[in-house]
Structure 1
Amino acid sequence: MTAIARHDRPDVSQTVGLEVSVTPSPPPGTAHVRVSGEVDFGNAAILREDLLTALASQRDTPLVDLSVDLSRVTFCDCAGLNALLSTRLAALRIGRGVRITAASRPVERLLHLTATGFLLASRCPPESK
């Protein structure tokens, strides 16, 4: 099952838009998310919503992780980073993870400048009880 959401900002003359596709992938319990276009203040909330929906759609599967491919993102600002980090926190609260599997140069630069790349590099194991 593949879900594709295409989102365009109201002023399409100045933007490429945002495209998010979610595909369940091996290993079981992992969803692969591919993001394309610009991620900025105008559409970061849409990205966050799509990521949280992907996380929730796999809720019955144990140890669900989101694998996020950002290699086709042409621009990402701090609002986009916040969408990724807030999704990570939501995932960790339910014992899951979010990790970036590929990043474009603009995304790599943002992660480097904010020193946040390590937070999205791998899944943090749940705390033992």
Structure 2
Amino acid sequence: MATIVQDERVDSPEAAGMEVGVAAGPRPGTVQVVVTGEIDFDNATVLREVLLAALVSHRTTLLIDLGRVTFCDCAGLNTLLTVRHAALQAGRGLHITAAGRRVERLLTLTDTRTLLM
């Protein structure tokens, strides 16, 4: 991954089980966000805040790597859809570039894969 432009690794109790890193993306005009661990009701708000902050501060397309996410519930999915909506409203994009087996299954079951990938 390229140079870290903003390190959003969160250690708060609300982010338990999740780590988020934000770096310059592989293409000009993009920011890469890598999420590791679990995304659930307890930490989805933290993820939403980090993603929205990256969207606002970098004013670019967000590329989200969920390849290291081991669990994602409907709160996590809602966060991704909410941030996607905010990105579209701002004339930007949001794309999941990698997803683990469990995230892929969630996106397939909820028919949201084409919206996010």
* TM-score for both structures, normalised by structure 2: 0.89
Q: Deviations over 1:70-129 (max 9, x none)?
A: 0000100000000000000000001101000000011001001100010012xxxxxxxx
Q: Which residue of 1 aligns with 2:72?
A: 76
Structure 1 residue ranges (4+ consecutive) displaced by more than 6 angstroms after TM superposition:
none
2-structure distance, mates of 1:78, 1:4: 22
* TM-score for both structures, normalised by structure 1: 0.82
Q: Which residue of 1 aligns with 2:7?
A: 3
Q: Deviations over 1:1-21 (max 9, x none)?
A: 2413124546xxxxx611000
Kept in 2: contact 1:7–1:17 (CA 8 A) = no
Kept in 2: contact 1:8–1:18 (CA 8 A) = no
Q: CA RMSD in A?
A: 1.6
How many residue pairs get aligned? The number is: 113
Q: Which amino acid aligns with 1:26?
A: P
Kept in 2: contact 1:41–1:77 (CA 8 A) = yes
Distance 1:110 1:7, change over 3 A: farther
Tell me, what secondary structure is at the counterpart of 1:100? strand
Q: Which residue of 2 aligns with 1:125?
A: none
Q: Which residue of 1 aligns with 2:107?
A: 111
Distance 1:115 1:29, change over 3 A: same
Kept in 1: contact 2:25–2:63 (CA 8 A) = no
Tell me, what secondary structure is at the counterpart of 1:4? coil
Distance 1:8 1:108, change over 3 A: farther
Structure 1: segments with no counterpart, 5+ residues: 11-15, 122-129
Q: Percent identical across equivalent pairs?
A: 56
Structure of larger gyration radius:
1
